[in-house]
Structures are given as C-alpha cells and as structure tokens.
Amino acid sequence: MTRLWSQIKDLRLRRDAIKWLQLRTNGGEHSLTRDEINDFFFDGERFKLIDPMKGIRKPRELEAALTIMTSFRKPGEERPYADDVGPDNLPRYMWEGNDPDTYTNRGLRLAMERGLPLIWFIGVGGSPMQFHAVCPVKIIGEEPELKRFILTPASEDELSFTNLEERDMAEEIIKRYLLRETKTRLHQPVFRASVIRAYQGRCSICNIGHASLLDAAHIVPDSDEHGIASVTNGLALCKIHHAAFDSSILGITPDYTVEIRPDLLKEVDGPMLEHGLKARHGQALMMLPKNAKERPDRALLATTYKRFLFAQSA
Ligand SMILES: [Zn+2]
C-alpha cells in the first residue's frame, strides 16, 4: 500500500513538474535560470527540480531520478555536444563518476527500468546561466562500458514501448522516429534557445525584439548536422528576414554587411520593401552576440554569400 502510494505520488510529481515547465516556458519558448527552475511547488511545498551540486537530481522522496542537467558548452569547440551523441544519433548522458552504483546512477537506472519520464535541463549560456528544459525524456538503454545512458526525447503517449525487446522488433521504424524526435524536441529547441539568447532576443538585421516573430536561422543548412548546431552557424532573424535570407533576396557578407538583391533595389513598393529590405542594403548587422566567440562563423557566411551572388547571375 505504501509502495503503491509512493509510486502514484512519484508519477503525479513528474506529471505536475513537466506541466509546470511547459507553462512556465510557454511550451519551450523561454529558458529559465536555476532560481526560476527551483521555484516549483508540489502539494503546496517548494520542490527543487535541480540539485545545486550534481547533474542528476534524485530526490530523497523518490526512488528514481527526476531530472538531469547538462552544463553549457562554450562555442569554439569543434562539434559541440558530439561526445554526447551515439552512433544511432540519440543523445547520451554520462554516469556520475565511475561507480555504477552511486545513488544517482542507480536512480537513473531505475527510471529506465520503470519507463519513467525525466526532465533534462540543458545550459544555453547567459548570465545568470539559462537552461532550456527538454521534457519528457526517457532512458531506453545503458552502455556500462562507456559509463552512460541512452536518452530519447519523447512524449509519453506517442512512445509506448518500454522494454528493449520491443525496441528490437521494430528497430528501423523506431530508430527513424527517435531521430526525428531528437531533432524536433532536442536539437532544434536547444539551438533556438542558444541563438535567441546570444542575440538578446532581437533580429540581427532589423533589431525587432518579439520572441514570437523570431527564428533561429541556420547559416548553412543543418541537414547533415550531428548533434546540436553551434551558435556560430546561427543568426537570430525575424520571420521576414529569415525567409529573405533563405531565398537569397538578402545576403550577408562575411564582414557582417547586409546586401539586398539588385533587382529589388530598383523596385518601388510599400513600407516593408522600402524600410524592411531596401534601407538595410549596405548596412551592418544591427545585433550581434556580445561574446565574439558566439558571432557568425565568417567561413559559413562566405558559403551562403556565394549562393546569394550566384542566384543573381542565374
Ligand atoms: Zn528582421
């Protein structure tokens, strides 16, 4: 009875925390600081969702782990997060230390065995540090020789299998499904949060500052991206400037100057064309990350600038 009661409470806590985070972040649009994350209340009492000292939070009240955290990786590293992605492209989470039986590692293993949903906080930079919440995630395997767990971002109802046997049966289908899930639930949101944070929530070209009008644009497409794209392959752009950039109506030179396709410069039209596009021609980018290491990679810009020039000659 007590055991059943505690398992029900455990599930309720996870569900409440996930729901609260989704509301608090407006469905993942906003990142949160440590203080904001720990401002969660369960049954009228504050319940810390992250551990001040550890990456894995295994609350005393629960048998299994509840949340995991990955610290921010500074840009400039070759392929950020690549170490944390397995050959199947699914994210990995390292054990705490080398002992498989610390209470935190045991807590994660138990969450795996029970198919319990977890919350994953990923540092996206800023001061104070901001975290993007990916939830729910599940652990679908362990690689003890590499001291890590296999994660998958998943929605509870969509992902019904819980054991490895079932996974083997439909491996190909599930692998493709998980890859897509990883991209849409992990890579893209974390990339977006990192880029929007680096550009202080403003379009690099026109400086508009409304989150719902902003995209995190890739400078070169991320189709072959393994893991989460680096901020240096990103630009915060409003919807119209994103579309103009992707369709080569607008180009950005490697020294961060905006150019507009010559035929549009001759056109006469309403305020969007005049102010939004033509007036930006020859101007510097209005918003760039403060940290020089987070600014757009000039070599990547050169690649897309070539595409922009080529589109005019075609
Ligand atoms: Zn804009």
**H-helix or E-strand spanning residue 196:** helix 188-198
Q: Which residues surround ligand 1, an ion (CB under 5 A)?
A: 203, 205-206, 238, 241
Q: What percent of the chain has pLDDT over 70?
A: 87
Structure tokens at 124: 């996206």
User: Does 219 lie in the same domain as 133?
Assistant: no
User: Does 249 lie in the same domain as 147?
Assistant: no
Top pLDDT among 81 and 133 is at 133
Question: What pLDDT sits at residue 78?
Answer: 45
Contact criterion met (CB below 8 Å) for 115 and 138: yes
**195 lies in a domain?**
no
Bond from prior residue into 117 cis (ω within 30 degrees of 0): no
**102 lies in a domain?**
yes
**20 lies in a domain?**
yes
Q: In the predicted model, is pLDDT for residue 23 greater than 60?
A: yes
User: Does 97 lie in the same domain as 18?
Assistant: yes
Q: What spacing in Å lies between the alpha carbon of 245 and ligand 1's midpoint?
A: 10
Q: What spacing in Å lies between the alpha carbon of 214 and ligand 1's midpoint?
A: 8
Number of domains in the chain: 2
- pLDDT tens digits, one per residue of 177-201: 777 777 777 888 889 999 999 999 9
User: Does 38 lie in the same domain as 154?
Assistant: yes
**201 lies in a domain?**
no
Q: What spacing in Å lies between the alpha carbon of 131 and ligand 1's midpoint?
A: 25
Structure tokens at 242: 């994103």
Q: What spacing in Å lies between the alpha carbon of 238 and ligand 1's midpoint?
A: 4
User: Does 269 lie in the same domain as 146?
Assistant: no
User: Does 246 lie in the same domain as 110?
Assistant: no
Of the three residues 130, 164, 198, the one that is the final residue of a domain is 164
User: Does 139 lie in the same domain as 59?
Assistant: yes
**191 lies in a domain?**
no
User: Does 157 lie in the same domain as 102?
Assistant: yes
Query: 107-119 in b/e burial notation, b at 16+ Cβ within 10 A?
Result: bbbbbbeebbbbb
Look up the CATH number of the domain holding residue 28.
Answer: 2.30.280
**70 lies in a domain?**
yes
Contact criterion met (CB below 8 Å) for 81 and 73: yes
Q: In the predicted model, is pLDDT for residue 76 greater than 80?
A: no
User: Does 231 lie in the same domain as 139?
Assistant: no
Q: What is d(CA 129, CA 196) in angstroms, rounded to the nearest whole number?
A: 14
Q: What spacing in Å lies between the alpha carbon of 201 and ligand 1's midpoint?
A: 11
Q: What spacing in Å lies between the alpha carbon of 202 and ligand 1's midpoint?
A: 8
User: Does 138 lie in the same domain as 24?
Assistant: yes
What domain range includes position 285?
211-313
Question: What pLDDT sits at residue 173?
Answer: 65
Q: What spacing in Å lies between the alpha carbon of 204 and ligand 1's midpoint?
A: 7
